[in-house]
Every structure is written in C-alpha cells, then in structure tokens.
Amino acid sequence: MLNDIRYLVLEDGTVHEGYKLGADAESFGEIVFNTSMTGVQEIITDNSYTNQIITFSYPLVGSAGFNFEDSESLLPTAGGVVVREASEHPSNFRCDENLDQFLKRHGIPGISGVDTRSITKKIRTGGVMKAMITDSSDHDSTVSKIKDSTDATDQVASVSTRTPYISTGRGPRVALLDFGKKENIVRSLNHRGCDVTVLPHDTPAAQILDMKPHGVMLSNGPGNPEDVQVAIETVKGLIGKVPIFGICLGHQLIALAGGARSYKMKFGHRGANHPVKNLLTGKVEITTQNHGYAIDGNSLENTDFEVTHTALNDGSVEGLRHKSAPVFSVQYHPEAAAGPHETSYLYDQFIGLMTTEGGQTNA
Ligand SMILES: NC(=O)CC[C@H](N)C(=O)O
C-alpha cells in the first residue's frame, strides 16, 4: 500500500525505499551498523546509541521478540532502526511484543524491507554518515535537511540519572558514574555482591570520595568523549585515590584524563563477535562492542597508562591500565548483553582491587 512506504535517505544522496516500521515519526542521526545476530532488544535499548540510526546487517530482526526484563535502559534513545525483515510473529516463551510494537511504544521510527547488507558495505567503504528516516518523497529537501542538521553534544546529560539511587548489595560499595549505563553493568556488580550507588554524570570527585566507596565504576555512554569535559576533570581527581574500572565511554574518559587523545573511527565496532587480544595473558577474547571513537595508541606514550588489549581486526586500543594506580579499563563490553560472557573476569578483577586496595567490605 502506498501509505506504508517510508524512505531511508543518506547524506550522500542514496535513497532506500522500504516500509514503515515503529513510530510514525521522522528522525535524523548518524547511521551505524551492528553485525550481531541476536540481542536486538539489548542493542536498541543501549543508550550509547542515543540519536544514532542502527542498521542490523543480519537479515531477520526480532525473531525472539521483546520482553519487559531484558532492556538495558528504561527509555531507549536510539534515533531509528533499519532492518531487512522485521519479524512480525516472534516465537519465544518470554516474548511480550514484536519489534514494531516495541518501537511504537518508545516513539522510535524504523524502516523495513531495505538491503541492510549493502548499507553496511557502503558505511564500511565510505565511513559513518548522517541519514534520515522519513515518509517524505522530496529527497532533495531531505538531503539538505540532513546536511543542515547539527551534531548534539549533550547526549550524556540527557541519558544520565538526575538523582543518585542505590541498588543494594552486602559487598564492596561501588560508586557508578552514569553516562548512559547499560543495566547489565549494575546487574554484573550486584551479582558479585556489590552495593551500587548510581550517580549523575557530573558528580564532582570530592563528593564521590566523601562517600568513601571501595571502587568507582565509569559506565558506557553516547557521543564523543571529548564532549564530556566535566567527567574528565572528575576522573583526574579520582585517579590514585580509589580503584577505578571504566567501560567503553568510561575507558575513553580515563585515557583522556590521563593525557591521551581520542579519535573518531571510520565506521566503529558494533557487534557481538569482535576478537580482542589480551596482551597480559596472550589469550584471544571474543567480545561485544559498540563504539565509534577510540583511543590513539601513540598518544599514550608519555602518559602513566599502558595498553593491555588490542583489537585483532584493526589493531586499535581495546584496554588500558595505569602503571602504578589501581585503574583499568576496556573499550568493549564485559557485561555482554548481548554477546559472549568470556570477559566477565574483569568484574572479578575489579572486586579483587576493591577488596585489597579499597579497604574493608561490608560482607
Ligand atoms: N558504548 C560506549 O560507551 C560508546 C562510547 C562512545 N560514545 C563511542 O561511540 O565511542
């Protein structure tokens, strides 16, 4: 039916015609691709994707459906979703709704029936670009709108908690700086007994230290790490005073606080089977990833940090540790959700640092 037609228009003028999916709305954003074959709910609800249009390269999306337990955030903030085929009749005993219903409920527009593998190839060759999901067939005006749109710089503030709250446990007390955290970071800490206080992104270092946490965790989050200057200052005030573990954006903020530089990658890493080499053990880890920026390895030369992990696909930096203080970080996602669990040892490492360096636990 004519009414069901929707377009995905890329900044370079490419137009993909498909079908309406999800909310009756338009959206601008950077278009990125994710190569995962599962974990669609976890991916779409990861706030690191704020304003981004997610293209799933795998052709059938949402076949296990969506439920009310597996979301990585209560309010997903992805700009849009692009799929080859949206599963209309998911089959899973935990399924509560299908992709279309889920996207509608959260006001996220999508498009189905487009060749997502060709979009993936285009992004791999040309790099990430801006795009728009729209029902308008005036493509010239859509391309001008895309070109005139400006990049947001306040995404972290928009997804961070506004007030502190506690997810209780009887073990080490962790202060978790929320830059748009995935719920599975809290679950992974609680699962190991930690008492987690989730803090707004701009909580000052002195206030965090006054709480006397056994460790500080820096979460994942959206956008360019250089936009989060307040947090970089906070991290500078924490290094050497308390054990710190950073994931993804948290990793980037630790590196920037330590004097390194970040850069925007050509098309980023988004998927659930990225091989990473752990340089300390020599082992290869299969990891979940979602990032568009990375730390420049050369810029670490005169800092107190050393590289502990590298990506096997492109040699980029995937993990760091401080040469003397109990501070370490990874660019990938040890909390998985979705994806392999084999790097969850990093949470155990953090617990180890907190119980030796951070003093008494409540256990
Ligand atoms: N998942 C994340 O924390 C992503 C970090 C950052 N926004 C990036 O794209 O590189």
Instruction: Quick: pLDDT tens for 118-170.
Output: 999 999 999 999 999 999 999 999 999 999 999 889 999 999 999 999 999 99
Pocket-testing residue among 30, 33, 220, 314, ligand 1, by greatest number of atoms within 8 A of Cβ: 220
Based on the fold, state whether residues 93 and 242 are members of the same structural domain. Answer: no
For residues 35 and 269, what is the distance between their CA atoms, to the nearest angstrom? 9
Quick check: is 10 in a domain? yes
207 in a known ligand binding site: no
Q: Is the CB of 248 under 6 A from ligand 1?
A: yes
Let me know: does 360 contact 302? Beta carbons within 8 Å: no
DSSP state string for 10-58: ETTS-EEEEEEEESS--EEEEEEEE--SS-HHHHHT-GGGBTPEEEE-S
Q: Tell me if 243 sits within 8 A of 270, measured CB to CB.
A: no
User: Ligand 1, residues 252, 331, 333: which to mutate, most atoms within 8 A of Cβ?
Assistant: 252
Please tell me whether residues 90 and 18 are part of one structural domain.
Answer: yes
Mean pLDDT for the chain overall:
96
User: Ligand 1 centroid vs 361 CA: distance in angstroms?
Assistant: 31
Instruction: List pLDDT tens digits, range 13-40.
Output: 999 999 999 999 999 999 999 999 999 9
The letter for the amino acid at 43 is I
CB contact at 8 A, 123 and 33: yes
CA distance 27 to 132: 5
Which of 98, 132, 148 is where one domain is finished? 148
Identify the domain boundary among 94, 113, 148: 148
Q: Single out the residue in 148, 174, 194 at which a domain terminates.
A: 148
Q: Average pLDDT in the 187-191 region?
A: 98
The residue-averaged pLDDT of 161-188 equals 98
Q: Are residues 131 and 164 in the same domain?
A: no
Residue 79 has pLDDT above 70, yes or no: yes
Is 292 known as a binding-site position?
A: yes
Determine whether the shortest distance from the Cβ of 246 to ligand 1 is under 6 A. no
Contact 179, 249 (CB under 8 A): yes
CATH number at residue 195: 3.40.50.880
Whether residue 51 is contained in a domain is answered as yes
Instruction: Identify the domain containing residue 251 by its residue range.
Output: 155-357
290 in ligand 1 pocket by Cβ < 6 Å?
Answer: yes
**Contact 292 CB / ligand 1 (< 6 Å):** yes
Mean pLDDT of 176-197: 98
Ligand 1 close to Cβ of residue 334 (< 6 A): no
Q: Model-level pTM?
A: 0.96
pLDDT band of 357, cuts 50, 70, 90: low
pLDDT at 92: 95
Q: Give the model's pLDDT for residue 356.
A: 83
**pLDDT for residue 1:** 47
132 domain-assigned: yes
Given strand 215-218, what is the order of strands in its sheet?
Answer: 165-167, 195-199, 173-177, 215-218, 244-247, 327-330, 317-322, 305-311, 262-278, 284-295
Question: Looking at ligand 1, which residue's alpha carbon is closest to its atom 3?
Answer: 220
What is the tens place of the pLDDT at every residue in 81-103? 999 999 999 999 999 999 999 99
Total structural domains within the chain: 2
- Report how far ligand 1's centroid is from the alpha carbon of 91 (Å): 32
Same domain, 117 and 102: yes
| pLDDT computed for residue 115 by the predictor | 98
**3 pLDDT more than 80:** no
Is 290 annotated as contributing to ligand binding?
yes
Pocket test for ligand 1, best of 48, 52, 295 (most atoms within 8 A of CB): 48
Q: pLDDT confidence of 6, banded at 50, 70, 90?
A: very high
252 and 349 in one domain? yes
- Taking the centre of ligand 1 as the mean of its atom positions, its distance from the CA of residue 114, in whole angstroms, is 26
Question: Which amino acids are annotated catalytic?
Answer: 248, 333, 335
Q: Is residue 172 domain-shared with residue 318, that is, in the same domain?
A: yes
